[in-house]
């Protein structure tokens, strides 16, 4: 998952910080960058999931009243149409009581 951008960033940061107090063993810098990127990836994944879930919940709450109105309207019209169709069919198979 290592990409050139983090390596360039790490080298830039090291150059800006001045000369290192001691030399790191070969490959240590790349290993550290790789490990840091893995940790960042895990944290970002978790936090982004939480943030997205929060936004989805908020949006769902805000749209829920309108959605209920629409569902109520659709059900009401479906019942009206079914009753009207049944009455219009002229069937006299109503139980005689």
Write the pLDDT tens digit of every residue in 22-66.
777 888 899 999 999 999 999 999 999 999 999 999 999 999 999
pTM for the model stands at 0.47
In this prediction, residue 3 carries a pLDDT of 52
- Does any domain span residue 20? no
- Does any domain span residue 84? yes
The domain containing residue 44 runs over which residues?
30-89
Cα separation, 25 vs 32, whole angstroms: 11
In this prediction, residue 97 carries a pLDDT of 61
Query: Which DSSP state fits 4?
Result: H
- Does any domain span residue 45? yes
In this prediction, residue 87 carries a pLDDT of 92
- Does any domain span residue 13? no
In this prediction, residue 96 carries a pLDDT of 64
| DSSP per-residue string spanning 38-70 | HHHHHHHHHHHHHHHHHHHHHHHHHHHHHHHHH
Say whether pLDDT at 2 is over 60: no
Q: What total number of domains does the chain contain? A: 1
- Does any domain span residue 9? no
């Amino acid at each position: 998952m290592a990409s050139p951008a983090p390596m360039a960033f790490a080298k830039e940061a090291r150059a800006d910080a001045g000369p290192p107090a001691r030399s790191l063993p070969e490959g240590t810098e790349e290993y550290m960058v790789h490990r840091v990127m893995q940790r960042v990836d895990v944290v970002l994944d978790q936090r982004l999931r939480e943030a997205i879930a929060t936004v989805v919940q908020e949006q769902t709450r805000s749209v829920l009243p309108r959605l209920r109105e629409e569902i109520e309207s659709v059900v009401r019209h479906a019942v009206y149409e079914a009753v009207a169709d049944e009455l219009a069919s002229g069937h006299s198979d109503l139980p005689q009581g």
